Amino acid sequence: MPSTISRSQLIGLKVYTMDAKYVGVIKDVGFDLNNPSNIMLIIETGAGKIVELPMKAISAVGDIVLLSKDVEIPEAKETVSETMVSATKPVQVSPTTQVTVSQPAKQATPTAPVTTTTPVQWAIPRCPKCGSALIYYPQYRRWYCPKCREYVNVSPEILARVPRCPTCGNYLSYIEQYGKWYCYQCQKYVNV
Ligand SMILES: [Zn+2]
Ligand SMILES: [Zn+2]
């Protein structure tokens, strides 16, 4: 291997053992605090697990990283390293401007609080677990929680108060982000 290689050259490379077994992808490079000259490769093996291997385990670097013959791959552990924690943190922070904590993460852009203009006679089917507005999929005739990623049964009392599409007659889904009702059959917003 070359005597100098930059961190950015290593990150993202796939790691294989000498006998062509896939180990994982290099996510980061770290130092062993007890021995700072010992640079560690932080390799994600999939499913959020990582292994750490010393830099000296590398045999060759090219389009992939090839490990030396006698390297033993330690058992993968859950990602608890500093780098992984900081990488995932911002996603988990819910903006303070959110009305409820139940909005899906992808809607977490700090928009102004949603003031609902929905007439009181309409009911918004919501997920009993997280409170998200449910999506009605006409092709399955079922209600789906985009946050919990599962289908939810809606009581007939609520269904009776859900507005329907004037074009196709299917139930409308309330899009909290825009405060509007949407028909997933016609793929358009509907004024109710
Ligand atoms: Zn839910
Ligand atoms: Zn429709």
Q: Which tens digit of pLDDT belongs to each residue from 49-82? A: 888 888 888 889 989 999 998 888 888 888 654 4
- Answer yes or no: do 39 and 17 share one domain: yes
Question: Which residues crowd ion ligand 2, with CB under 5 Å?
Answer: 165, 167-168, 183, 185-186
pLDDT at 2: 53
Domain range for residue 38?
A: 7-91
Q: Which among 73, 91, 109 is the end of a domain?
A: 91
Q: Which among 47, 74, 91 is the end of a domain?
A: 91
pLDDT at 84: 47
pLDDT at 140: 95
pLDDT band at 165 (very low <50, low <70, confident <90, very high): very high
Taking alpha carbons only, the member of 86, 83, 92, 75 closest to residue 26 is 83
- When mean pLDDT is compared across 47-51, 105-109, 122-126, 134-138, the lowest value belongs to 105-109
* Whether the Cβ atoms of residue 147 and residue 127 lie closer than 8 Å to each other: yes
- Answer yes or no: do 112 and 48 share one domain: no
* Residue 2 located in a structural domain: no
- Answer yes or no: do 87 and 98 share one domain: no
- Answer yes or no: do 145 and 81 share one domain: no
- Answer yes or no: do 81 and 105 share one domain: no
CA 133 – CA 169 distance, rounded (Å)? 20
- Answer yes or no: do 169 and 113 share one domain: yes
pLDDT at 71: 83
The bound ligand whose nearest atom lies closest to the alpha carbon of 131 is: 1
Structurally, how many domains does the chain consist of?
2
pLDDT at 184: 97
- Answer yes or no: do 32 and 82 share one domain: yes
- Answer yes or no: do 184 and 140 share one domain: yes
* Residue 192 located in a structural domain: yes
User: How far, in Å, is the centroid of ligand 2 from the Cα of 168?
Assistant: 4
pLDDT at 122: 93
